[in-house]
Chains A and B, each alone.
Chain A
Amino acid sequence: MAGFQYFPQTSDDIRAMLDRIGVNSLDDLYADVPADCLYKGEYDLPDAMTEQQVRDFFEGLAAKNPKLKVFAGAGAYDHYTPAVIPYITQRSEFITAYTPYQCEISQGTLRYIFEYQSMICTMTGMDVSNASMYDGPTAAAESMRMMVAQAKKRNTVLVSNTILPQVRGVIATYAKYAGITIKEIKAENGQTSKAALEALIAEGDVAGAIVPSINRFGIIENLEGMADALHVDKALMTIYCDPSALAVLKTPAEWGADIAVGDGQPLGIPLCYGGPYVGFMACTKEHMRKLPGRIVGETRDKEGRRAFVLTLQAREQHIRREKATSNICSNESLMALWVTVYLSLMGPEGMKQVNDLCYQRSHYLYKKLLETGKFEAVFTGAPFLKEFVLKPLVPVAKLQKKLSDAGFFGALETEDGYVSFCVTEKRSYEDIDELVKVI
């Protein structure tokens, strides 16, 4: 065998190790495997590549992906990533660690998760955050399970039509196999209809509802009175939110929610074709013991020094097995670090400024697009932050083609036949003017 840089054993090493074990060959280590289970053929894999060949190969693939300026959102937002973040998150001690089971040599991971939990709590106004979920949609699905678990005998969860379709989709998947009934709360003028919510509550069996803070039309929803309507009926409320926008918007806690979930991607995580992102999940103190996933807590070591540990573990799969609050084990720890470093750099002022820039530039694009005469306004007067929909007066496919040919990605078609645009602080006024000119 020729040497391979990731396998350090020399043939002498192998010989010496086999001798210690008392077998003759590596194959003998598989003597307990029935012959018909052993694979005798050649593996249908390419020839091994050198490091340079691998780099060339991926550069070749990369060249086949058109490079477009992103004017789309729909759950993934192209915010700026400060250089410090990949620098920190690539540190070996962070990225090559496992889950912090041995707390004495994992205080780095445990501390940043504690900071992350603290930041998610201050952003959402909630009391308790877990250490992260896979992504926003799965966090929403877990909130559905959590609401049903606390409601004991009730089995219906209401989901607003105005939540992003991929969130509704994942909730529907989890609900189907768990035997949970999902009822859709209708939209009215592009927002969750409070009357429809109340009518569904009156039908009974409602464990809780999931509604968005900013919805799939980009509209900032007015959720006034919804928490009360649910709480009167002993049902819970989950709000799905964009954590970047929460720097300025009313928090889930202020709306009276019991659970806040969403995707942390807008906090400086690259688009990366959909992942890795990070789901966040936080709740009120009352529901702390039903929260899924890892949680880090503060304590003291024997010398009285401040120390951090994984805590409340009796909720989790490795202890509770089939009775655990969730099956989640690995989560998105490194992406939680990503978010923590982002929020540390941005601070309250930076977050406000990001939102102001998004607001100003998206409103500028909105105005300019209407002026082209190729779109009609849909939800006039509804407040939006960085994303909005318009009714296209030209064929959508042609419009999208024209944009991508000119180096832009935008005008995503929604299920209602509208097109959506999103503008983050990364897009300059020149970019916007250029896009409008193309249209």
Chain B
Amino acid sequence: MSKIIEGLKYSDTHEWVKVEGDIAIIGVTDFAQKEMGEITYVDCPDVDDEVEKGAEFGALESVKAASDLFSPVTGTVVEVNEAVVDDPKLVNDDAFENWIIKVQMSDVSELDALMDASAYKAFIKE
């Protein structure tokens, strides 16, 4: 059974968001990492790139598959987790501990449209 953490926001494309002020810390869910299998590469945007809610900002790659990452919020990338770029296995090890990007949100109200933990749990129907 996939791990789900209370207090985070979730998108229907399996990203999680942890909110700290106007900063959104974004990663992929445990469910998503399991679906991918062994992740071989995390394709990230650069700092200062603009991201848009619902638009791609990167991708996860495994040996035989690739899965796009979609931003749950609109804003500017302020930090990229170099640790997961260097060692993609970290996402497999703990998808919640190992975030991917931090975004300075331009519209905090976008968070309202995301799911909470229980809604996401129902969404993935485990």
Give 15 A-B pairs besides A314-B41, A320-B66, A323-B68 with Cβ atoms closer than 8 angstroms. Answer: A152-B49, A289-B41, A312-B41, A313-B63, A313-B64, A314-B40, A314-B59, A314-B61, A314-B62, A314-B63, A314-B66, A319-B64, A319-B65, A319-B66, A323-B66
Say yes or no: is B52 at the interface (Cβ < 8 Å to chain A).
Answer: no
Which residues does chain B contribute within 8 Å of A319, judged by CB atoms?
A: 64-66
Contacts of A312 in B (CB 8 A): 41
Count, A-B residue pairs, CB within 8 A = 20
Mask for A281-312, Cβ within 8 A of B = 1, else 0? 00000000100000000000000000000001
Give me 20 A-to-B residue pairs in the complex whose CB atoms sit less than 8 angstroms apart, sorted by A's number: A152-B49, A289-B41, A289-B43, A312-B41, A313-B63, A313-B64, A314-B40, A314-B41, A314-B59, A314-B61, A314-B62, A314-B63, A314-B65, A314-B66, A319-B64, A319-B65, A319-B66, A320-B66, A323-B66, A323-B68
Q: How far does the Cβ of B71 sit from chain A's closest Cβ, in whole Å? A: 15
| Segment 125-168 of A: residues with Cβ below 8 Å from B | 152
For B59, what are the chain A residues with a Cβ–Cβ distance below 8 Å?
A: 314
- Nearest B residue to A310, CB-CB: B63
- Give Cα A152–Cα B49 distance, bound, in whole angstroms: 10
Q: How large is the interface on A (under 10, 10 to 19, 20 to 34, 35 or more residues)?
A: under 10
Per-residue CB contact flags for chain B residues 29-56 toward chain A (1 = under 8 Å, else 0) read 0000000000011010000010000000
Which residue, of A152, A312, A314, A320, has the highest number of chain B Cβ atoms within 10 A?
A314
Q: Give residues of chain B (52-101) contacting chain A, Cβ–Cβ below 8 Å.
A: 59, 61-66, 68
List chain B residues, Cβ under 8 A from A320.
66
The answer for the CA separation of A323 and B66 in the assembled complex, in Å, is: 10
CB distance from A403 to the nearest CB of B (A): 55
Q: Looking across the interface, which residue of chain B has its beta carbon closest to that of A319?
A: B66
Q: Give the residues in chain A near B63, CB-CB below 8 Å.
A: 313-314
Q: How far is the CA of A320 from the CA of B60 in the complex (A)?
A: 12
* Nearest opposing residue in chain B for A316, CB measure: B66
Bound CA span A313–B43, Å: 14
A314 to B40, CA, bound (A): 10
Q: How far is the CB of B89 from chain A (nearest CB, A)?
A: 15
Bound form: Cα–Cα A313–B40 in Å:
11
Contacts of A152 in B (CB 8 A): 49
**A313 to chain B: which residues have CB within 8 Å?**
63-64
Q: Which 10 A-B pairs have the closest CB atoms?
A: A314-B61, A314-B66, A319-B66, A320-B66, A319-B65, A319-B64, A313-B64, A289-B43, A314-B41, A289-B41
Report B-chain residues with C-beta under 8 Å of the C-beta of A314.
Answer: 40-41, 59, 61-63, 65-66
Across the two chains, which residue of chain A brings its CB closest to B66? Answer: A314
Residues from chain A with a CB closer than 8 A to the CB of B68 are: 323
Q: Which chain B residue shows the least CB distance to A318?
A: B64
For chain B, residues 1 to 48, give those with C-beta under 8 angstroms from any C-beta of chain A.
40-41, 43
Q: Distance (Å) between the CB of A386 and the closest chain B CB?
A: 42
Contacts of B43 in A (CB 8 A): 289
A323 contacts across to B, CB distance below 8 A: 66, 68
User: Closest Cβ of chain B: how far from A329's Cβ, in Å?
Assistant: 16
Distance, CA A323 to CA B63, complexed state (A)? 17
Distance of A382 Cα from B61 Cα, bound (Å): 49
Assembled-state Cα–Cα distance A314/B37 (Å):
14
**Chain A, 52-99, CB within 8 A of any chain B CB:** none
Least CB distance, A302 to chain B, in whole angstroms: 16
* Max chain B C-beta neighbours (<10 A), residue from A289, A312, A313, A323: A313
Query: Whole-angstrom distance between the alpha carbons of A314 and B43 in the complex?
Result: 11
Bound-state CA distance A312–B65 (Å) is 10
Mask: chain B, 99-125; 1 = CB below 8 Å from A; 0 = not: 000000000000000000000000000
Give A152 to B58 CA distance when docked, in angstroms. 13
Q: How far is the CB of A149 from chain B (nearest CB, A)?
A: 12
CB distance from A247 to the nearest CB of B (A): 34
